[in-house]
Amino acid sequence: MSVLDKIAEAIGRDRIVTGADAAPYGKDWTGAYTSAPLAVLRPLDTKEVSTILKIAHDTGTPVVPASGRTGLTGATLANDALMLSVERLNHITEIYVEGRTATVGAGVILSNLHDAAEANDLIFPLTLGARGSAMIGGLLSTNAGGSNVVRYGSTRGLCLGLEVVMADGRIMNLMSALHKDNSGLELRNLIIGAEGTLGIITAAVLRVLPKPKAYATAMVAVPQLSDALSLLHRLQDATGHGVEAFEYMPRSYIDKHMELFPDASAPFDAEHDVNIMIEVAATQDKDALPGDDGQLPVVATLEGLLGEMLERGSLLDAVIAQNEAQRQEMWKRREDAGEVAFFGGAFVNTDVALPLDQIAEFDTRLTPRIKAIDPDSEEVIVAHLGDGNIHHTTYIKRNDPVIKDALVEAVEDVVQELGGSFSAEHGIGVSKLETMRRRKDPVALDAMRAIKAALDPKGILNPGKVIPAP
């Protein structure tokens, strides 16, 4: 009996998708990574996931977990493997208002969780451009970041508990809502960010927080990138660390965005080299209730600070959103970054993290090295500047693998020199395996391999991803 026949007998043939119906699952949204899974499995609950993995473990069949397939590193490539989609584990079991937690299945779409939280006057603060398709299981598996990390942290910090099906089908229940638990090794955080190589996440307990009562959102231009850090600190001091987003869009990004979206408005009447989108959130009535002049105090605070900095010359320009439509226009400019980066011809894209005080130096050091490799190349950066996460794209005239590898190494070299990381929020997948081999501490790699071997001795969970072979 084939492995698919065994699975069909155990949970039903209607859970199995093959042939042309399975083909769309073999593509990620960028089109950069395609594969042909043996079949796509769509279990209804954790018990069925457990049954599938027991059979896969017994037969030595590789299993690749998949959620919304919005990743950028090829982590769901599934050639000669079963793809296990968590899309039907899509129930929001509970929004516990008093405890400020949400219990959800791995297949819950991020925007649906946003809506459910908002209905209870709460937020799940993780947000990113793919929120309409990205699922909780994938976000946890990649330890996703997004635009609000500067205030709320990454996905790992927003998760209290997990349910995980291990390689042999056993179910590990870590579905606690505790904020403190010192009972042994922190297995939850080990699973988060492992990209399905150590177990398959089926459910989670997540933190939800009070919904901000008002926002102040603005585009500003500063003379130099080095001035941005001073601006961030001033904003944090003035707003009680209320900055939720601090997003860098240089002139090159604005130009690309206007080229791709010709109907979009420019951020300013004049062009500037260093453009930053700021969003400050007010959670207290004193900052959110309109004054006698009808202005929100949080907006007045931002306006006063920016006005002062404009007078002193430490800002070149500033535009504050006057209504929700203008706010959404500013956010769309930033959230269009995926289209800007991935649909402009041949390119090399990197996702790196740097200490905040080294970001300007990164820009200074890197450009000459890029030009030395490919004089005709074009650099475009967009960054979650508040947490040091930079997305650097180099557009090249020739789709030459040698040039691409050299450009990646140039970025990695500068990042390493400045004490940064070659991966900030997108994960490793297959695209950064060689970088892991080159750059990761060899003792750390040995520890990762030992953990993988202990938890998945047959190597069936998302093989060939994250951890390079010795």
3-85, CATH topology level: 3.30.43
Using CB atoms within 10 Å of the CB of residue 159, give its burial: 0 to 12 exposed, 13 to 18 middle, 19+ buried: buried
The pLDDT, as a whole number, for residue 422 is 94
CA angle 226-230-233, nearest 5°?
140
Between CA 199 and CA 129 the distance in angstroms is: 26
Q: 96-101: which pairs have CB atoms within 8 A and are 24 or more residues apart?
A: 96/177, 97/122, 99/177, 100/207, 100/208, 100/209, 100/210, 101/160, 101/177, 101/205, 101/206, 101/207, 101/208
Residue ranges covered by each domain of the chain: 3-85, 92-210, 214-337, 345-432
Phi and psi (nearest 5°) for 179? -90, -20
Give which of 353, 346, 389, 392 is closest to 369, Cα–Cα.
392
Sequence length of the chain is: 470
Q: CATH says 214-337 is which class?
A: alpha beta
92-210, CATH topology level: 3.30.465
Give which of 441, 379, 433, 370 is closest to 407, Cα–Cα.
370
Q: Which amino acid is at 2?
A: S
Are the beta carbons of 219 and 318 closer than 8 angstroms? yes
Q: CATH says 345-432 is which class?
A: alpha beta
Between CA 168 and CA 56 the distance in angstroms is: 8
Are the beta carbons of 372 and 411 closer than 8 angstroms? no
CA angle 283-287-293, nearest 5°?
145
Are the beta carbons of 407 and 347 closer than 8 angstroms? no
Give which of 249, 241, 216 is closest to 334, Cα–Cα.
249
Q: Which amino acid is at 443?
A: V
Per the listing, tokens 């937020």 go with 123
Are the beta carbons of 110 and 136 closer than 8 angstroms? yes
Give which of 121, 43, 115 is closest to 83, Cα–Cα.
43
Comparing 3-85 with 92-210, is the CATH topology the same? Answer: no
Which residues lie closer than 8 Å to 214 by C-beta, 6 or more apart? 281, 282, 287, 288, 296, 298, 299
Are the beta carbons of 220 and 318 closer than 8 angstroms? yes
- What tokens appear for 11 in the block? 């949970």
Does residue 294 come out as left (phi exceeding 0), alpha (psi in the -120 to 50 range) or beta?
Answer: left
Q: The sheet that has 214-222: what strands, in order across it? A: 317-320, 214-222, 274-282, 243-250, 378-384, 389-395, 347-353
- What tokens appear for 97 in the block? 């208002």
Q: What is the pLDDT along the chain (470 residues), one digit of tens a residue?
A: 899 999 999 999 999 999 999 999 988 877 778 899 999 999 999 999 999 999 999 999 999 999 989 888 888 999 999 999 999 999 999 999 999 999 999 999 999 999 999 999 999 999 988 899 999 999 999 999 988 999 999 999 999 999 999 999 999 999 999 999 999 999 999 999 999 999 999 999 999 999 999 999 999 999 999 899 999 999 999 999 999 999 999 999 999 999 999 999 999 999 999 999 999 999 888 888 887 777 888 999 999 999 999 999 999 999 999 999 999 999 999 989 888 877 667 888 899 999 999 999 998 999 999 999 999 999 999 999 999 999 999 999 888 899 999 999 999 999 999 999 999 999 999 999 999 999 999 999 999 999 999 999 999 999 999 999 99
Indicate the angle between helix axes 401-417 and 359-373, nearest 10 degrees: 150
pTM of the model: 0.93
